[in-house]
Amino acid sequence: MKKIYRVLILAVCLVIFGSFAVVQYQKQKPRRYQGQFFDCFDTVTVITGYAKSEEDFSEKVKLLQAKLTHYHQLFDIYHTYEGINNLKSINDAAGKEAVKVDAEIIKLLKLGRDMHEKTEGKLQIVYGSVLSLWHEYRERGVQNPKRAELPPKEELNRRAGHTDIGKLILDEEASTVYLAEAEMSLDVGSIGKGYAVQRLAEYAREIGMEHVLISVGGNVCAIGAKEDGTPWLVGVENPDLESSQPYIGSVELSDQSIVTSGDYQRYYEVDHVRYCHIIDPNTNMPPAYFSSVSVISSDSGLADALSTSLFCMEYEAGLALVESLADVEAMWIGKDGKIRCSSGFEYHEEK
């Protein structure tokens, strides 16, 4: 009889211990959290991911914020930072001397130079002299819409004469950058944020984040899938600002990025015509082909560079470029709202 009692007690203990183990496992199962910050690349960054505790997730978000802040400072063309030679340092020394910089700046500029060649000049990182003039007039027009005006064509053309990418001198061994003309200046707005997001994603993996969605002002990068193995669902913004639908549809991402360039993000109006912040190096004017272009790729820097470049190309030329590249898909939304996609671009239409 005692033996039966012992067996019963053992069985009860096993049930209790097993239940306790299940509870402990459930407690340790990663939960979904979200964090955000506002001090990088003049936009909001949102990090969505999984962790065993909110404290653990918050600590990792702080690490990501510090890493992204570093890239923000390196690629800044408006401010200097103690102990850092950044893009502003290079611009300030244009025509005078080479500047020793972090290796990440060299890598970014090499990518920009490569993409300049692949896009036949539509991606232009030494276009700062022209872009700064447009920036000045756009800011003035936003502040005082009634007095908004376009930059003089003569001055745009004059400044465009100082945008020869062949005069961007990179010395990888010495880790220096030199702009050979005094009026030259770098502006990596077409590629810098995407490059930084890609590096941030790689860093996230290094610190153990395997299921994360990073959004830096619309540059969205998925690290892995969600915890349950399903892909992340990311909305594609509707460029029609008067529409009641904020998204035209959504895409599924896993170990991929989507970047969108559009005329609805930063712009001003002159005589009821919208002029966006993206400028075609061939005309020195904002292009009028599309309202937006979205690019999906496993590399966020590539996606960023291509979205800007495709926005400045006619559809046929852009489609040919996309179809010639591995691991790249694109969606074009025309001024009339018409949607066209590359052969492998899949999205769920908003209903």
Adjacent-strand bridge partners of 26: none
| Count of residues in the chain | 351
Nearest one of 36, 45, 39, 65 to 216, comparing CA atoms:
45
> Out of 8-22, 46-60, 166-180, which region has the weakest mean confidence (pLDDT)?
8-22
Percent of the chain with pLDDT over 70: 92
Average pLDDT, the chain: 92
Q: How is 52-80 classified by DSSP, letter by letter?
A: SSHHHHHHHHHHHHHHHHHHHHHT-SS--
- Domain around 248: 30-53+209-349
**What does the pLDDT average to over 23-28?**
47
In this prediction, residues 233-240 reach a mean pLDDT of 95
15 occurs within a structural domain: no
> For residue 28, what pLDDT band results from cuts at 50, 70 and 90?
low
| Within a domain: 160 | no
In the predicted model, is pLDDT for residue 19 greater than 70?
A: no
In a domain, 69, yes or no: no
> Mean pLDDT throughout 292-303?
98
Decide: 131 and 123 in contact? Cβ < 8 Å. no
Residues 6+ apart with CB under 8 A from 215: 45, 46, 47, 48, 221
* Per-residue pLDDT, 16: 40
Is residue 23 over pLDDT 50? no
| Among 26-35, 197-206, 265-274, 340-349, the least confident range | 26-35
Residue 255, pLDDT > 80, answer yes
In a domain, 231, yes or no: yes
Determine, yes or no, domain membership for 104: no
In-domain check, residue 158: no
Judge whether 305 lies within some domain: yes
Rounded to 5 degrees, φ, ψ at 297 are -160, 160
Specify the pLDDT at position 100.
98
Give the residue with greater pLDDT, 204 vs 13: 204
Q: Which amino acid is at 122?
A: K
d(CA 41, CA 191): 12
* Cα gap 246→235, rounded to integer Å: 9
Q: What are phi and psi of 101, to 5 degrees?
A: -135, 170
Q: Tokens 């470029």 label which residue? A: 321
Residue 18: the pLDDT is 46
Q: What is the pLDDT of residues 52-89, one digit of tens each?
A: 999 999 999 999 999 999 999 999 999 999 999 999 99
- Residues 164-183 have a mean pLDDT of 98
**6 — pLDDT class (breaks 50, 70, 90):** very low
Helix, strand, coil fractions of the chain, as percent rounded to 5: 40, 25, 35
Number of domains in the chain: 1
- pTM above 0.85? yes
Domain with 267 in it: what CATH number?
Answer: 3.10.520.10
**Per-residue pLDDT averaged across 142-167, rounded?**
97
What's the CA gap between 47 and 5, in Å, rounded? 55
Residue from 295, 290, 264 nearest 277 by CA: 264
Span 142-160, mean pLDDT?
97
CA distances from 267 to 18, 129, 245, 263, 273 (A): 62, 19, 21, 7, 10
pLDDT at 27: 53
* Mean pLDDT, range 200-207, rounded to an integer: 97
- Model confidence at 242, pLDDT cuts 50, 70, 90, reads confident
> Which is nearest to 304 in space by CA: 341, 330, 272?
330
Alpha-carbon span 78 to 91, nearest angstrom? 10
Residue 85 lies in a domain: no
Q: What is the pLDDT of residue 20?
A: 39
Cα separation, 21 vs 17, whole angstroms: 6
CA dist 87 and 105 (Å) reads: 8
pLDDT at 26: 46
How far apart (Å, rounded) are the C-alpha atoms in residues 67 and 231? Answer: 26
